[in-house]
Structure 1
Amino acid sequence: MIGPARVAAYDIQLAVSAGRADLPTAIAHARARLKDERDRALASDIATGVQRWRAALDHVIAHFSTRAIDRLDPQVLEILRLSAYQLLHLTRVPASAVVDDAVKLTGRAGKRSAGGLVNAVLRSISRHRHALPLPERPDDPVDREKAIEYLSVTLSHPQWLVERWLDRFGFDATERWLQFDNAPAPLTLRANRLRIAPPELIARLARDEVAVRPGRFAPDALIVERGHPRREADEGLFVIQDEASQLVALLAGTRPGAPVLDTCASPGAKTSALAAAMNGSGCLVACDVRDRRMRLLRRTVEATGAANVRLVQADLLQPLPFAPHFNCVLVDAPCSGLGILRRDPDDAAARRRSGGARRPADLRDVFERARGERVGRVRVPRDRARIRTGRSPPSRHVGPGRGRRRTRSSADISAPSWPRGLLRRRFPTAGLKACTTPVP
């Protein structure tokens, strides 16, 4: 019998490669079919790891199969990828079990004639796993061709992205960034203060043998070190949310009773954080444009008990129907997502396939509307904040505009609520940036 986690990982890979689903959606669907939490974790690990190390895996597979990747059957290639990842990165998995399941999985996929090839390639990879034929770090980083080959293949990032970052940041900074992306991201929770205080949640988790430690930057952040907090998740006692994302609610400086507008709000982690900061009082309007994203947003709001949230389906590129004078407007605009490749390694490839996020002109229009300059009835008092966030590296293409419409962008880094040293670190958390944009 083939291990159910490997079957699930194979199904995830097929769905992602065919463009039928993005990685998080494919993983969620596969996990729902698995009964054992260990199988869920292994399937997620394999699927995420294959996307993270795809370029390096393909390079190794091509070497030991003595044929180009595009000459391999797509289904056989996915089996080789997920099996090679296990051999090279999951040290507790016996190599014999990986190879045996791969051959069986090949037969299950209707490719029985390729079983010999799969067996031979994987055994060769296993024998040479301590001396893989990958490009070495160049002695002279100025050699652009060798630098790009090492960064894009050995550190497994899309070549177009490596070239961009190499030109902007130089070799050393790009290398550190790619190494950061390739490190497994921790599972970070935000205690839902609408239902439970952080110390009480820590005690609850401990009783269920889930070990956590406080986050480094966000006051409600808990990093899971051991265990699976499924029961607490079902009760809505926490939200899975990176610390960088949690800090946005602090930057907003919301207070109980103040009206707040959260545009582009799905899937709702920041919305629920804002609601908690408001102690569940006042009016928090949360918007998104697509039906599927509205369903995700509604699910989060209901699970966290954010009773002061009002959901409105709206497109920020169109005139907005709001009359209240909001004290804060949050714009978590669609972006490249390149700042969170550590969490979602498929994102770069997906953005490339789909042509990227919204065009810069659209993003500028989104920011202008949020500022109130081009939406007559959305106004923010001068002493309050409009927060725009993104998960993209700094770009010279996306900004508030030119000439008269240019705005100052700033964050009050001297505020006591900001952890000391946070903004001086290059890679402390997921790559999310945020800034306030006051009305001139």
Structure 2
Amino acid sequence: MKSSSGVTESGPAKGSAWRAKPEDPRQVAFDVLRSVDTRGGFADRVLDGRLRRAGCPDERDRALATEIVYGVLRRRGTLDRAIEGHVRKPLERLDAEVLEVLRIGAYQILFLDRVPDHAAVHVSVEIAHRAAKPGTAGLVNAVLRSLCREKSRVGREALVRAAARGEPDFPGWLKDLWKRDLGASRARELFHALLAQPEVTLRVNPLKVARADLVEALAREGFLAEPVEGLPWALRVVKGSGDIRQTRCYSEGLCVQQEAASQLVVDLLGPCPGERVLDLCAAPGLKTSQIGARMENRGLLVALDRKPARVRELRRLCQRMGVRLTGALVADGSRPGTTGLRERSFDRVLVDAPCSGLGILRRTPEKKWRPPPDFRALAALQAGLLCAAAGLVREGGVLVYSTCTVNRQENEDILEGFLVGHPGFRLEDASHFLPRTLGDLVSEAGTVCTWRRPGEFDFFFAARLRRTGRRE
């Protein structure tokens, strides 16, 4: 007997070609998700490594594995809600491997039109045979077949809408935080935006190529890109298959992958040729290399980071992009005096501070399912870095503080505390330094809050400060 969803009631169809071999994209996704959950790694790095080991030559297989990994991480709460109605015991009593297989199967059934239901069920059963305890494959088969029948009965949209009620794809601590800081309506907008697949945004390297010429070069390699309004070096990839990092344009340093909000921070800093500029928390070097390009390799550019491996990564990126660094130092940014840097010697200093990363959760959705960050410790670190940086800014110089998070404790509170303790600095209205088309990203206080356009940007905060020369 076969249901209307195409699933054979007794199990996998006889002679089915859908088998979970080690290089099958769904098996790859399972391995990545289990590694992320058990070892605490970042999904992008674990996925890159697993795809290399799998040797998936078909770009469609690589794309499917990527879609499943990030889809399951983004929609895990909704998937668990949909699954639990078809399991006789609480999900927390299921073996972790079984629950992961069920999530992978349910994601395909509920969110991927291009994967037939019978394929999603059959391969999930095969993965359970391979990776879970004996006898659990039958449970996987029964649960996913039951989910397929429910989808056929009520429709996919209604099923997903019911399962997603109450924002189950976000932890309670984050919902409480944003509803308190932003209000319920704005918080819902941000949650909705974080469920979307992020766009691929590139930064053109003007040291090597003009933006129009890069668009043509990318088209020859199969990628269609278009300019991002208000950002002179940004391109949004709107069409193309494969990994943009494998293109000749990328390897030759004509461009780098950098989100639009991240690029906006350096535009706010406004470095110019011939100036002395410091990037205090610089790794992996995206903003450092952007600063160097804006300076046209003229002037003094120093980058600091605490970890030697990250500084090496920064140097490699700058070398590929053709950016000349005056110095890339392994140092604690909260203690710049140990590096020999002179007080009040820099025209511009950027503090792109370590933060909770809540603004980039659509790129790092695995962080939603981990314990909440220690916001108090982060705030202490951020305040220390900003105070240390202040001592390095010359009179009339510019200091920019930025994070990739949405949290008053790490953003506005840090800024307000700094201004109270440093009367020699004043906050400048960011709208005076950005194109008019981006003016709506600036708050009433004059700070950049890119979550004011939640569907277009990752969520960054930035404030521009100027040393006025008053005594502190």
One fold, TM greater than 0.5? yes
Q: Tell me which residue corresponds to 1:247.
A: 264
Give how far 1:213 is off. 1.4
- Does residue 28 (structure 1) correspond to residue 48 (structure 2)? The answer is yes
1:286 to 303, 322, 331: 303
Q: Secondary structure at the match of 2:324?
A: coil
Q: Tell me which residue corresponds to 2:352.
A: 332
- Does residue 435 (structure 1) correspond to residue 463 (structure 2)? The answer is yes
Q: Distance in 2 between matches of 1:93 and 1:357?
A: 45
* 2:303 partner letter: A
Q: Distance in 2 between matches of 1:384 and 1:419?
A: 26
Q: Tell me which residue corresponds to 1:7.
A: 27
Q: Tell me which residue corresponds to 1:369.
A: 388
CA gap of 1:404–1:432, structure 2 versus 1, over 3 A, is closer
Q: Distance in 1 between matches of 2:47 and 2:421?
A: 46
Q: Distance in 1 between matches of 2:190 and 2:364?
A: 15
Give how far 1:383 is off. 2.2
Question: What does 1:54-133 correspond to in 2, within 5 Å?
Answer: 54-129=76-151, 130=155
Q: Tell me which residue corresponds to 1:219.
A: 232
Give how far 1:182 is off. 0.9
2:254 to 220, 224, 237: 237
Q: Tell me which residue corresponds to 2:210.
A: 197
| 1:337-374 C-alpha deviation (Å, 9 max, x unpaired) | 1111222222333462x6458431221111100111xx
Over aligned residues, Cα RMSD in angstroms?
Answer: 2.3
| 1:142-163 C-alpha deviation (Å, 9 max, x unpaired) | xxxxxxx93332xx11111112
Moved more, 298-307 or 76-85: 298-307
Q: Answer yes or no: is the 8 Å Cα contact 2:405–2:460 preserved in 1.
A: yes
CA gap of 1:432–1:221, structure 2 versus 1, over 3 A, is same
| 1:407-433 C-alpha deviation (Å, 9 max, x unpaired) | 543343123645344425442411011
Q: Tell me which residue corresponds to 2:11.
A: none
Give how far 1:296 is off. 2.8
Q: Secondary structure at the match of 1:389?
A: strand
Q: Secondary structure at the match of 1:382?
A: strand
Give how far 1:206 is off. 1.1
Q: Distance in 1 between matches of 2:426 and 2:292?
A: 27
- Does residue 409 (structure 1) correspond to residue 427 (structure 2)? The answer is yes
| 1:367-418 C-alpha deviation (Å, 9 max, x unpaired) | 100111xxxxxx2223221111101114146414264446543343123645
Q: Secondary structure at the match of 1:429?
A: coil
Moved more, 163-172 or 193-202: 163-172
Q: Answer yes or no: is the 8 Å Cα contact 2:305–2:331 preserved in 1.
A: yes
Percent identity between the two aligned chains: 34
Q: Distance in 2 between matches of 1:296 and 1:418?
A: 35
- Does residue 208 (structure 1) correspond to residue 221 (structure 2)? The answer is yes
Q: Distance in 1 between matches of 2:194 and 2:299?
A: 39
Structure 1 or 2, whichever has the larger Rg, is: 2
Q: Distance in 2 between matches of 1:101 and 1:13?
A: 16
Q: Answer yes or no: is the 8 Å Cα contact 2:227–2:235 preserved in 1.
A: yes
Q: Distance in 1 between matches of 2:375 and 2:433?
A: 35
Q: Distance in 2 between matches of 1:163 and 1:196?
A: 46
Count matched residues.
Answer: 420
Q: Distance in 1 between matches of 2:63 and 2:376?
A: 30
Q: Tell me which residue corresponds to 2:366.
A: 346
- Does residue 316 (structure 1) correspond to residue 344 (structure 2)? The answer is no
CA gap of 1:104–1:238, structure 2 versus 1, over 3 A, is same
What TM-score results when the alignment is normalised by the length of structure 2? 0.83
Shift >4 Å, 4+ stretches: 131-137
1:151 to 141, 145, 166: 166
Question: What does 1:170-185 correspond to in 2, within 5 Å?
Answer: 170-185=183-198
| 1:105-146 C-alpha deviation (Å, 9 max, x unpaired) | 111114241101111111222232325666759xxxxxxxxx
* 2:28 partner letter: A
Q: Distance in 1 between matches of 2:84 and 2:132?
A: 22
- Does residue 275 (structure 1) correspond to residue 292 (structure 2)? The answer is yes
CA gap of 1:347–1:218, structure 2 versus 1, over 3 A, is farther
* 1:181 partner letter: L
Q: Secondary structure at the match of 2:356?
A: coil
